[in-house]
Amino acid sequence: MRSTTSNCRNPNSEIRRRAARSVCFAAALGLGLFGLAAGAKAQGLPPLAKELNPAETALILVDFQYPFTNPDGANYHNIQKELQDKDLLNKTVDLVKKARSLGVLVVHITEGYTGDYREVDATNPGGFHRGQILRQAWKTGTRETSYYPPLAPGDGDKDLFLPPRIQTSAFGGTGLDQILRSKGIKNVAVGGFTTDVCDYATVTSAYDLGYHVYALKDAMASYFPEQGELMLKNTYPMWSKVLSNEQWLAMFGMSQKTER
Amino acid sequence: MRSTTSNCRNPNSEIRRRAARSVCFAAALGLGLFGLAAGAKAQGLPPLAKELNPAETALILVDFQYPFTNPDGANYHNIQKELQDKDLLNKTVDLVKKARSLGVLVVHITEGYTGDYREVDATNPGGFHRGQILRQAWKTGTRETSYYPPLAPGDGDKDLFLPPRIQTSAFGGTGLDQILRSKGIKNVAVGGFTTDVCDYATVTSAYDLGYHVYALKDAMASYFPEQGELMLKNTYPMWSKVLSNEQWLAMFGMSQKTER
Amino acid sequence: MRSTTSNCRNPNSEIRRRAARSVCFAAALGLGLFGLAAGAKAQGLPPLAKELNPAETALILVDFQYPFTNPDGANYHNIQKELQDKDLLNKTVDLVKKARSLGVLVVHITEGYTGDYREVDATNPGGFHRGQILRQAWKTGTRETSYYPPLAPGDGDKDLFLPPRIQTSAFGGTGLDQILRSKGIKNVAVGGFTTDVCDYATVTSAYDLGYHVYALKDAMASYFPEQGELMLKNTYPMWSKVLSNEQWLAMFGMSQKTER
Amino acid sequence: MRSTTSNCRNPNSEIRRRAARSVCFAAALGLGLFGLAAGAKAQGLPPLAKELNPAETALILVDFQYPFTNPDGANYHNIQKELQDKDLLNKTVDLVKKARSLGVLVVHITEGYTGDYREVDATNPGGFHRGQILRQAWKTGTRETSYYPPLAPGDGDKDLFLPPRIQTSAFGGTGLDQILRSKGIKNVAVGGFTTDVCDYATVTSAYDLGYHVYALKDAMASYFPEQGELMLKNTYPMWSKVLSNEQWLAMFGMSQKTER
């Protein structure tokens, strides 16, 4: 093996030697891991799906709770304009009804903490949990974490309503990923609050987990609208297809269907 | 249980009943999970750490590879201005030397794909992997994925240099999280490329994993500078403390030390 | 790079070439990843901890619920002999009181399903969930999943009592891992049901996650006693130190303390 | 909400109150999480799959490396009898060829450490990594970790050959789970070494991750044969269907096909 490494060595300088070795390592890894490399010329890409199978699709609703959905909620004013401009709440209720009728799995993900915040680290320098503690906010069992009533599943609905989470991603500590696999879910659509905070962390982690992600821009609002807009334009498309509710529903052939 | 639920019921309408039940659920969860809730008055927050223990700290370098660090690299022009304005590469080399001398664990995380991209899904509607395939980019074993030579660990360095990853978060599929726990790492500092893409996903997932995160703004550059700037101002502080290299090093008492 | 690979090639046969390349890959990976290999002679191992810091330690109790703890429980007869021989329930209550008084974090992990088992996959060929469905067992909200009363945390206790899980490992889908990191937990002790099923999966996953694991043999009982005994002798020691309650408590200097 | 809790309270004693509250919590969780509980009568179970779709199936080979496969390997003598009785290596080569010809994704998972074991924790009381260090074993880049030549993928094979891992589960720190999702893999078959150690951890974690698992008993050997046999009889069936190679291949209609 010594000779292998030697072949890669540029003896002129220590720094160059390290760089060269990195290339050698990478080359060996590429060949050893996966066999013959493909040719250098660009490959054609397979077409993207134009249709979605409802049985392989979930709609993930993030934090449709009092602070965002009720005019008296602590975070309402931050998103109020966008809520109104998009008629977001009403349109999401409609979206969810249609998703249920299609057989899409509807998943409700919420945020919540115990009364003394014992499950979070008050010394973490990131401000998210510290802010909740400081404001004594998002306590499970208070009106402030109550779910937006029109979205709550009825007795006949097959929605998942998972226990409240403390992480920013909807997949964080909820077991959601494993449940979705066991149900054969391949596609996830994401809506909720907010475009620039929890929705985005949900979308990046969903992509990393291997899902096909659809970001429903009409069902999202931003805490920092300028940032949220840039994210939807620039980086959301790296991890997802950004669609209106109508465009997404049309992927099930829904546009032809009348609402129930 | 019927009576429990009944107490929560608002019988006026079906929709209100669902909302009420959500509150009931939440209340029971809060009480049942964690015992007596804390009092309603705001609690004082513990102070944040002013010092870091190097034995509990890692410096995570994201994607210091040819496309970002070499003037001929495909992504270089996107970040060129910021690289130059911040003298980013030279300062990162200095940062890493100081981190090593302090006993901070230096971790190199890279991106890379096999020659035929067999480990990724070309049909995913998110553009990240599709873009790599279309450009035939970031192939492990090519010059394009080679590591920035001045940062490559020397024989005496104890750095971790993990195999190339395909996910946006540095924690995604690398086993990094488990290695860091086994080493007692509590704090992670993040630098590299780019502020608005992989660094951010690394920071949000690190926070979700329970780390204390320090975002090193001088060691990061943005793909979309306007977005990156807003993220550093608005949302990075939710998951991390945003610091200059000097400010971070000062947390080890480094400001008094002379460079070796 | 061609020459690197060539050096590794044994041209005599196709099969040998592949094997040789595997060696080459491994060699390059080892050198490239982590720098200079250590010398061939055996290194001394650092000593194991003889003392535990309660602030870095959690006691994980697995499934102390009606089916295992109540004489009318469906699984009680399988473990009855061991429960009695070890006086397991009383001794665990004593253990938990001592752990709380030491400042060890006590974590209660339970199993539970919704009434229609919507969150599990009835078509999975593994028999675990199918068995629960067939027996209509472990439904959250029934007496059958109720917690063993003497272990339930009181209002002053700081225990974590996480929502019911559907996975065999206590870490599966509960967010436990992230909470433990954020609290600086390094050591976990595991007790509960059963030695050969959920306890073992908890212990292997805890080791994989990087924890120091202590398997409390007096606080565990086996579903298949012959198998459980062999596991404790043969494979538990790969992932944990197998201790009696007394031995574990002694690591906190508890043996000298009188019980409160 | 106070009244809700009160309804659940048995005021006679503190201990009983806690137990009662646990039931209340559980009940509320069940109803609140998932809507109306199913009726008490046993439900019929859906039939198990009799056929497998190769496009949704992966064959995971665990640690077919020198220590287990070469007569001079350090662990060979522990499994020698079973290797010979089952003609395990030859039959696995045949199995893999058939799997490839069917279009099943073949995944090679290996174990390996850097020369100075810097990525593991020598102070962990579990003996697995400490044993490797003590014996200076499983170093990546040595003959000892070389792959069993007849199983190494050829240039035309589409196998995944992931970087060496340090965890017992094949899913631990390898990114395997995310790659499998992105490829639409629902079913995993597991073979390799050993039945009672890494195979078992792989199978339990695969079940927890939501896969349909097939344990290939003819392609596995045990480190502790008595324990391995009990596990295959008692607990493997909880997480998997235990099959011979022939039985598994027959699920693709392979029994009718002639070997290529």
Would you call D210 helix, strand, or coil by DSSP?
Answer: coil
Handedness of CA B173, B179, B182, B187 (dihedral sign): negative
Smallest Cβ–Cβ distance between B35 and the set C157, C162, C210 belongs to C157
How wide is the angle at C-alpha A40 spanned by C-alphas A35 and A46, nearest 5°? 85
Angle between helix C198-209 and D198-209 (nearest 10): 100
Tens of each residue's pLDDT in chain B, 260 residues: 222 222 222 223 333 333 333 433 333 333 222 222 333 334 579 999 999 999 999 999 999 999 999 999 999 999 999 999 999 999 999 999 999 999 999 999 999 999 999 999 999 999 999 999 999 999 999 999 999 999 999 999 999 999 999 999 999 999 999 999 999 999 999 999 999 999 999 999 999 999 999 999 999 999 999 999 999 999 999 999 999 999 999 999 854 444 43
C50 Cβ contact list (under 8 Å, min separation 6): C251
- Residues counted in chain C: 260
* Nearest-CA distance C221 → chain B (Å): 26
Closest CA to D159 of D104, D214, D98: D104
Write down the ipTM of this complex: 0.85
B42 touches chain A (CB under 8 A): yes
Count helices and strands (H / E) in chain B: 11, 6
The residue written with tokens 């005496």 in the block is B156
Average pLDDT over residues C219-233: 98
Which tokens hold the place of D247? 């039985």
C182 Cβ contact list (under 8 Å, min separation 6): A120, A121, A124, B210
D160-161: strand order across its sheet: D160-161, D105-109, D57-62, D187-193, D212-221, D241-243
- How far apart CA C147 and CA C138 sit, in angstroms, is 12
C65 touches chain A (CB under 8 A): no
What Å distances lie between residue A67 and A115, C92, C211, CA to CA?
17, 42, 37
Residue D225 has pLDDT above 90, yes or no: yes
Which tokens hold the place of B194? 């780019």
Would you call C60 helix, strand, or coil by DSSP?
Answer: strand
Closest CA to C217 of C192, C254, C188: C192
How wide is the angle at C-alpha B202 spanned by C-alphas A122 and D186, nearest 5°? 110
- How far apart CA D20 and CA C155 sit, in angstroms, is 14
With cut-offs at 50, 70 and 90, classify the pLDDT of residue C180.
very high
Kind and range of the H or E run holding D241: strand D241-243
Q: What is the pLDDT of residue A43?
A: 53
Q: What is the pLDDT of residue B26?
A: 33
Point out which residues pair with A62 in neighbouring strands.
Answer: A109, A192
- How far apart CA A172 and CA C178 sit, in angstroms, is 9
D84 Cβ contact list (under 8 Å, min separation 6): none
Q: Do A34 and D154 touch (CB under 8 A)?
A: no
* Nearest-CA distance D224 → chain A (Å): 31
* Nearest-CA distance A86 → chain B (Å): 22
- How far apart CA A226 and CA A206 sit, in angstroms, is 24
Percent of chain C topping pLDDT 70: 81
Kind and range of the H or E run holding D96: helix D88-102
DSSP assignment letter at D255 = G
- How far apart CA B18 and CA C80 sit, in angstroms, is 43
Kind and range of the H or E run holding C61: strand C57-62
The residue written with tokens 């978060």 in the block is B169
Nearest CA in chain B to C26: B163
Q: Do C240 and D42 touch (CB under 8 A)?
A: no
Smallest Cβ–Cβ distance between A227 and the set B22, B135, B231 belongs to B231
Q: Mean pLDDT for chain C?
A: 85
Smallest Cβ–Cβ distance between D209 and the set A153, A163, A178 belongs to A178
C75 touches chain A (CB under 8 A): no
Count how many Cα atoms sit within 13 Å of the Cα of residue D10 in the half-sphere of its side chain. Answer: 14
Residue C9 has pLDDT above 80, yes or no: no
Q: What is the pLDDT of residue B43?
A: 52
Q: What is the pLDDT of residue D44?
A: 79
DSSP assignment letter at D54 = G
Average pLDDT over residues D70-90: 98
Q: What is the pLDDT of residue C44?
A: 79
Residue A38 has pLDDT above 60, yes or no: no
Say how many C-beta atoms besides its own lie within 10 A of residue A76's C-beta: 15
With cut-offs at 50, 70 and 90, classify the pLDDT of residue D43.
low
Residue A41 has pLDDT above 80, yes or no: no
- How far apart CA D91 and CA C23 sit, in angstroms, is 23
Which tokens hold the place of D201? 């951890």
With cut-offs at 50, 70 and 90, classify the pLDDT of residue D254.
low
- How far apart CA C167 and CA C165 sit, in angstroms, is 6
With cut-offs at 50, 70 and 90, classify the pLDDT of residue D260.
very low
Chain D residues touching C190 at Cβ < 8 A: none
Closest CA to D211 of C94, C259, A182: A182
Does a cis peptide bond (omega within 30 degrees of 0) precede residue C57? no
Nearest CA in chain B to A93: B15
Residue A144 has pLDDT above 80, yes or no: yes
Residue C23 has pLDDT above 60, yes or no: no
Q: Which residues of A94-104 are buried (b: 16+ CB within 10 A; e: fewer)?
A: ebbbbbbebeb
Point out which residues pair with D182 in neighbouring strands.
Answer: none
Min mean pLDDT across A35-49, A145-159, D43-57 is at A35-49
Q: What is the pLDDT of residue B35?
A: 28
Which tokens hold the place of A167? 């992480």
Smallest Cβ–Cβ distance between B212 and the set A125, A142, A205 belongs to A125
Count how many Cα atoms sit within 13 Å of the Cα of residue A240 in the half-sphere of its side chain. Answer: 30
Q: What is the pLDDT of residue B44?
A: 79
Smallest Cβ–Cβ distance between B172 and the set D160, D175, D183 belongs to D175
- How far apart CA A181 and CA C172 sit, in angstroms, is 14
Touching B: C residues 132-161, CB under 8 Å? 141, 153-157, 159-161
- How far apart CA D23 and CA D37 sit, in angstroms, is 15
- How far apart CA A159 and CA A172 sit, in angstroms, is 19
Task: Name chain D's partners: 3 or more CB pairs within 8 A.
Answer: A, B, C
Residue D150 has pLDDT above 90, yes or no: yes
Percent of chain A topping pLDDT 90: 80
HEC profile for chain A?
A: CHHHHHHHCCCCCHHHHHHHHHHHHHHHHHHHHHCCCCCCCCCCCCCCCCCCCHHHEEEEEECCEHHHHCCCCCCHHHHHHHHHHHCHHHHHHHHHHHHHHHCCEEEEECECECCCCCCCCCCCCCHHHHHHHHCCCCECCCHHHCECHHHCCCCCCCCEECCCECCCCCCCCCCHHHHHHHCCCCEEEEEEECCCCHHHHHHHHHHHHCCEEEEEEEEEECCCHHHHHHHHHHCHHHHCEEECHHHHHHCCCHHHCCCC
Helix, strand and coil in chain D, % to nearest 5: 45, 15, 40
DSSP assignment letter at D111 = B
